[in-house]
């Protein structure tokens, strides 16, 4: 279990963009806390600010005002090298489009973050196999992405995201390309990782049918974050 009370937190985060002569506010005073071993879902329509919030929490974007904490340290005060180390070793990313390299096998795709981090070949092999076993795909390790179903590709993407044993997994519409059966399986896998491995998961989605699996549900509307009950929320894109 992570020793920090708050794994990550957004504190009064506002993000505005300039588009020509127009100012667009993507986030309006957002406050969000993710605890160690917690599964938080953020639901909202396309353009509501979900992706902007995830990018800011990952240090890929900077808020116009407010602050972001990771393990109780201000992300705003970190330099690019320190942010890069956090993204390499303490954050996992899962995207709607899977993001797998087509010429690499499932195993090679999962190994890639370890190669970038300078992990030696023997340890890479052990950790990549463990990650694929966690998502139930070791038997498909030698297959390339085009030989896998959409659900299998997303499982490989999740294995790649957790191969460095990050305390926090950020998932941006991870089931957007999947049918309802595979979408439920992916959210079920997130819940298992939270319960069995203590990984925290923050997943942005527009699929209200999956929210019952989360420990906490937030809804974002026009850049404002609202508390919601996982049961009974009927959000439609």
Q: State whether the Cα torsion 132-39-46-12 is positive or negative.
A: negative
Does the domain formed by 1-90+166-229 have CATH 3.40.50.920?
no
> Residue 97: its pLDDT value, please?
82
What confidence score (pLDDT) does residue 232 get?
46
How far apart, in Å, are the Cα atoms of 224 and each of 3, 43, 153? Answer: 30, 12, 33
- DSSP-derived letter for residue 145 is G
Whole-model pTM: value is: 0.88
Tokens at 81, concatenated:
């090298």
Tokens of 46: 């396309």
Give the start-to-end residue ranges of the domains of the chain.
Answer: 1-90+166-229, 100-164
User: Mean pLDDT across the stretch 128-137?
Assistant: 92
- Phi-psi domain of 29 (left: phi exceeds 0; alpha: psi -120 through 50; beta: other): left
∠ at Cα 43 (214, 8), nearest 5°?
Answer: 65
Cβ pair 147, 156 in contact under 8 A: no
DSSP class of residue 9 equals E
Task: Encode pLDDT of 45-69 as tens digits.
Answer: 888 889 999 999 998 899 999 999 9
| Mean pLDDT for the stretch of residues 202-212 | 85
170 and 94 Cβ atoms separated by less than 8 Å: yes
Residues 185 and 187: their CA atoms lie apart, in Å, by 6
What pLDDT is stored for residue 66 in this prediction? 95
Residue 75: pLDDT above 50?
yes
């Amino acid at each position: 279990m992570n020793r920090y009370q708050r794994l990550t937190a957004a504190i009064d985060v506002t993000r505005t963009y300039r588009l020509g002569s127009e100012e667009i506010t993507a986030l309006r005073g957002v406050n969000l806390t993710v605890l160690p071993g917690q599964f938080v879902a953020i639901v909202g329509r396309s353009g509501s600010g979900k992706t902007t919030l995830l990018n800011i929490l990952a240090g890929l974007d900077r808020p116009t005002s407010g602050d972001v904490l990771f393990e109780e340290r201000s992300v705003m005060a970190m330099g690019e090298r320190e942010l890069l180390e956090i993204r390499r070793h303490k954050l996992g990313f899962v995207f709607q489009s899977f993001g797998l390299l087509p010429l690499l096998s499932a195993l090679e795709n999962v190994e890639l973050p370890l190669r970038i981090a300078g992990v030696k070949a023997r340890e890479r092999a052990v950790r990549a196999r463990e990650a694929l076993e966690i998502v139930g795909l070791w038997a498909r390790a030698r297959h390339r992405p085009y030989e896998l179903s959409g659900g299998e590709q997303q499982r490989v993407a999740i294995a790649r995201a957790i191969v460095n044993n990050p305390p926090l997994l950020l998932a941006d519409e991870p089931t957007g390309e999947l049918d309802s059966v595979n979408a439920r399986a992916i959210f079920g896998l997130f819940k298992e990782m939270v319960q069995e491995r203590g990984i925290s998961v923050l997943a942005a989605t527009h699929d209200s049918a999956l929210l019952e699996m989360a420990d906490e549900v937030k809804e974002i509307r026009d850049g404002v974050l609202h508390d919601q009950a996982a049961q009974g929320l009927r959000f439609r894109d």
